[in-house]
Structure 1
Amino acid sequence: MIKVEHLSKSFANTKAVDNISFEVAEGQNLILLGTSGCGKTTTLKMINRLIEPDHGKVFIDGKNILEQKPELLRRGIGYVLQNNGLFPHYTVAENIAVVARLLKWEEKQIQHRVSELLEKLHLDKKYLTAYPNELSGGQQQRVGLARALVTDPAVLLMDEPFGALDNITRSKIQAEFKALDELKRKTIIMVTHDVQEAFELGDRICLMDKGKIVQNGTPAELLFKPVNNFVKDFLKEQRLQLEFKAIKVKDIISPPPSADGGTFELNGDILPGDASLWFMLERLKFSKAESISVRDARHKEVGKLDFEDLMSAFYQYKKQQAHE
């Protein structure tokens, strides 16, 4: 869906982005991760032409963005900012509807879509006539996300979307973000400097330093197959917690749920087949049940997992990775 080829950008004598290339498959969430000044936000802004590249090309759905008018390109891409970027003199309803009105949607269609998104993002309809300064930080961020999603764009760009929120609010919104059906069919590039957030939300992570991509891979690849000491050191302090988030339960248990739709079940709740070990341990910890049922595509139970089973499988997997 997104292809970046040899992209570069300099400011004065500083190379902010230095000849980087990567691809993002349709429906994938790629995280641009790194410390401040590594080039991740500049990269993101070049993808919707808020910044023009010095060299290189960007293709979205096979089309070269440099051959499109910037304003038309941006209307087809959802964009979420760290400080939400809401217009202070617009109501919540007006903020969410901005792009839909630019595209000349019918008013009835706009109202239906705005109401639909408010419900999905757990915002009460009483906020439709409120102004941004009347909302909490978490509510403002939900409105910013609704505005980016209103026209149902195929591509979503997010620049530190949860960075201005407190830890508790951020964790809650991250959980909602993962569960939101609207986002499961989007191709997303998200910028963050938060390592835990990257491992929580990313299908792939592009770790950047000094304008270059150091490693592009799955969270597990960065942890267990780092390309150099920079990657190892970058993840070292939080490594154990990151391992729990990077490892999928289906990859470490035997027998695993089938590849074509197997799931897990806890207290009657169906849990996703690609859930992380961290997610499973959390759910088990706060449940009265002692084990999780493993079910195949026909919903037939093929096994049970308790806390000890999960931890044993985890350490066995780590041992196996160390020998590869």
Structure 2
Amino acid sequence: MITVEKLSKHFGEVNAVDGISFEVVEHENLILLGTSGCGKTTTLKMINRLIEPSSGMITIDGKNIHDQSPELLRRGIGYVLQNNGLFPHYTVAENIAIVPQLLKWDSKRIEKRIAELIDKLHLSPDQLKVYPNELSGGQQQRVGLARALVADPPVLLMDEPFGALDNITRSKIHAEFKALDELKRKTIIMVTHDVQEAFELGDRICLMDKGKIIQIGTPAELLFKPANDFVSSFLKEQRLQLEFRAIRIKDIWNLLPHTKEITEVVSLSANMDIWSGLEKFKYHQADHLNITHGKETRAIGFEQLITAFYKYQSSRAHE
């Protein structure tokens, strides 16, 4: 869906982005991760031409982004900012309706689409009439996401979208983000400097430093097959929790006991990561939970899940 080839951006003597190339497949969520100044936000802004590249090429769905005006390009790309970027003197409804109005949608179509989105994003119809400063930070971020999604663009760019939220609100929005069907149909590039967020939300992670791509791969690939010492060092402090995020229950399925499922017990999918699975035990206050992988369901306890995880971790360390 998105191809970036030999992309560079120079500000005077500074190489903010230095000849990077990558691809993002349709419906994938690629995370641009790195410390401040590594070039990730500059890269994102070049994709919707908020910043023009010094050299290189970007195509979206096979079309060079420079073959159309920046204004038309941006109407087909959703864009979400850290501080939501809402217009303070527009109501919530007016903020969400900006792009559909530019696309000359009729009012009934706009109203129907807004109503559909606010329901999915857990906002109240009463909040459509208020102004952004009357909402909480989490609610403002949901409005910003609704505005980016309202015209149903195939591509969504997100620049530190949850960075201004407190940890509790951010955790809740992360869960909503992963569950939202609207986002499963999008090709997403998200910028963050939060390693945990990258591992929780990304299908693949593009780790950058000093304008260059150091490694691009799945969370598990970065953890267990680091390209160099920089990657290992970057992840070192949070490694254990990142492994809980990167490893899914299906990855350790063969290490779990072959127990029969228990009726009247909550069932989980083996596609869930280990961390989320362990949190389910706490939430449901259960000794065992049913876990389904393909056609098989097993009743697994907290300790059994932890034990299988450490066995898997040990086997990867010796590969």
Normalising by the residue count of structure 2, what TM-score does the alignment of the two structures yield? Answer: 0.95
Looking at structure 2, the residues matched to 107 and 224 of structure 1 have their Cα atoms a distance apart, in angstroms, of: 52
| Equivalence for 2:305 | 310
- Deviation for aligned residue 1:313: 1.5
Gaps of at least 5 residues in structure 2 are: none
Asked whether the equivalents of residues 255 and 303 of structure 1 are also in contact (C-alpha less than 8 Å), the reply is no
Looking at structure 1, the residues matched to 203 and 223 of structure 2 have their Cα atoms a distance apart, in angstroms, of: 14
Looking at structure 2, the residues matched to 20 and 266 of structure 1 have their Cα atoms a distance apart, in angstroms, of: 53
Deviation larger for 34-43 or 163-172: 163-172
Looking at structure 2, the residues matched to 238 and 227 of structure 1 have their Cα atoms a distance apart, in angstroms, of: 18
Asked whether the equivalents of residues 58 and 64 of structure 2 are also in contact (C-alpha less than 8 Å), the reply is yes
Asked whether the equivalents of residues 266 and 289 of structure 1 are also in contact (C-alpha less than 8 Å), the reply is no
| Equivalence for 1:62 | 62
- Deviation for aligned residue 1:187: 0.6
DSSP 3-state at the match of 2:286: coil
| Equivalence for 1:71 | 71
Asked whether the equivalents of residues 246 and 276 of structure 1 are also in contact (C-alpha less than 8 Å), the reply is yes
Within 5 Å, which residues of 2 pair with 1:31-46?
Answer: 31-46=31-46
Distance 1:106 1:270, change over 3 A: farther
Asked whether the equivalents of residues 268 and 290 of structure 2 are also in contact (C-alpha less than 8 Å), the reply is no
- Deviation for aligned residue 1:304: 2.1
Looking at structure 2, the residues matched to 189 and 201 of structure 1 have their Cα atoms a distance apart, in angstroms, of: 11
Deviations along 1:68-124, whole A, 9 cap, x unmatched? 211111000000001100011110000001001100111101001101111111011
Looking at structure 2, the residues matched to 74 and 284 of structure 1 have their Cα atoms a distance apart, in angstroms, of: 44
Within 5 Å, which residues of 2 pair with 1:258-277?
Answer: 269-277=266-274
| Equivalence for 1:226 | 226
User: Identity over aligned residues, as a percent?
Assistant: 70
Amino acid aligned to 1:66? H
Q: Which runs of 4+ in 1 moved over 3 A?
A: 264-273
Asked whether the equivalents of residues 250 and 293 of structure 2 are also in contact (C-alpha less than 8 Å), the reply is no
Amino acid aligned to 2:298? G
Asked whether the equivalents of residues 118 and 125 of structure 1 are also in contact (C-alpha less than 8 Å), the reply is yes
- Deviation for aligned residue 1:303: 2.0
Deviation larger for 105-114 or 301-310: 301-310
DSSP 3-state at the match of 2:161: coil
Deviations along 1:269-307, whole A, 9 cap, x unmatched? 55344210000000012213222223354xx54322211
Within 5 Å, which residues of 2 pair with 1:1-324?
Answer: 1-254=1-254, 269-297=266-294, 301-324=296-319
Deviation larger for 302-311 or 97-106: 302-311
Gaps of at least 5 residues in structure 1 are: 257-263
Asked whether the equivalents of residues 270 and 291 of structure 2 are also in contact (C-alpha less than 8 Å), the reply is no
Amino acid aligned to 2:311? Q
Normalising by the residue count of structure 1, what TM-score does the alignment of the two structures yield? Answer: 0.94
Amino acid aligned to 1:289? A
Aligned length: 315
Amino acid aligned to 1:291? H
